[in-house]
Amino acid sequence: MLTTSNSSKVAITIREKQLADEHMQDVELLLENMFQREEATLQLVLDRLYDIGSNNLINYRVKPRKLNRLMKWIARLTKPAFHYLAVRWSKKNCPKLIADWLYSQVQFPNPTTKCLVSPYNAKRCDHPHAMCVDTIFGKIIRIEIPADIVHEDELCLGFRDITPQAPTHILVIPKKPIPKLTEAGAEDKELLGHMLLTVKSIAEQEGLGNGYRVFFNTDIDGGQTVFHLQMHLLG
C-alpha cells in the first residue's frame, strides 16, 4: 500500500496531468481552426513542397535527359491529385501531429515517478483479445522508443526500469495490452504463468541466486503509474 504522503503526491500528479491534457486539447482545437482559416496558405505551402520534392526526386532517380523531362511532365499532370489528397490529409492530421510535437517539447522527466497515462496522447490498442489505453510500454513494445531490453518472446517483453529501486530492477510486461492485474481474465492464466517463468529465467541470467522480489503494482492505491500490466523483478 502507498502511504498517505505518497498517495497525495500521486493524486496531485494526476490532477496536474489532467489539467495539462485539457490545455493540449485546447491547443489542438486552435490548430484545427488555424488550418481551416488558412487553407489558402496551406495550399501554397504544399504546392511549393510538391514542386521542390518532385523535381529533386526525379533528378536523383532519373538520369537520362529525355526520360527526366517526361517524368517531370507527368509530375505536373498529377499535381492536382496530389494537391487534393495532401490538403485533406494535412487538415485532418497536422493539428494532432503538431500538438503532439509541441507537447513533447514542454514535457520533462520526473525523477520520482514514471510516466502516467495521458488521455490526450492515448490511443486504442488494436489487439484482437483486449482493448486498453496505449502507454509508454506500448511504445516500447512497438520499438517506437528505446529501452534496455533483456528478454523478448512472442508473449512478453523484459527491460530494465529507468528509475531502478534496486541494483537489478527489471519489468516484464505482456505484449497483450492488459491495463492492470484486476482486468486479467481466465483466458490470461497461461500468459501470467509464462510471465512468472520468464521472470525466473531472467533472474537466473542476472545472477540473482541468493534471492529476489517479484510483485505487481495494481491501480493507483497500489502504486501503479503506467496502466499496462507489469511484473517487477528486484534483486
- Measured CA to CA, the distance from residue 96 to residue 90 in angstroms comes to 10
Q: Is the dihedral of CA 35, 39, 45, 46 positive or negative?
A: positive
User: How confident is the model at residue 36, as a pLDDT?
Assistant: 84
Q: Is the pLDDT of residue 37 over 90?
A: no
- Measured CA to CA, the distance from residue 230 to residue 157 in angstroms comes to 10
- 132-190 pLDDT, tens digit each: 456 888 888 888 788 889 999 999 999 998 888 899 999 999 999 899 999 999 999 99
User: How confident is the model at residue 231, as a pLDDT?
Assistant: 94
User: How confident is the model at residue 142, as a pLDDT?
Assistant: 85
User: How confident is the model at residue 109, as a pLDDT?
Assistant: 54
For residue 64, the 8-state DSSP code is: S
Q: Is the dihedral of CA 202, 203, 204, 208 positive or negative?
A: positive
- Measured CA to CA, the distance from residue 189 to residue 176 in angstroms comes to 13
Question: Residues 230, 169: contact at Cβ < 8 Å?
Answer: no
Contacts for 204 with CB less than 8 Å, ≥ 6 apart? none
179: exposed, middle or buried (Cβ count in 10 Å: 0-12, 13-18, 19+): buried
From residue 93, how far is each of 49, 85, 107, 156, 214 by CA, in Å? 17, 12, 22, 32, 42
Instruction: Please list the residue range(s) of the chain that carry CATH number 3.30.428.10.
Output: 136-234
* Fold classified for 136-234: HIT family, subunit A (3.30.428)
- 70-114 pLDDT, tens digit each: 999 999 999 999 888 999 899 888 988 898 888 888 876 544 434
The pTM of the whole model exceeds 0.85: no
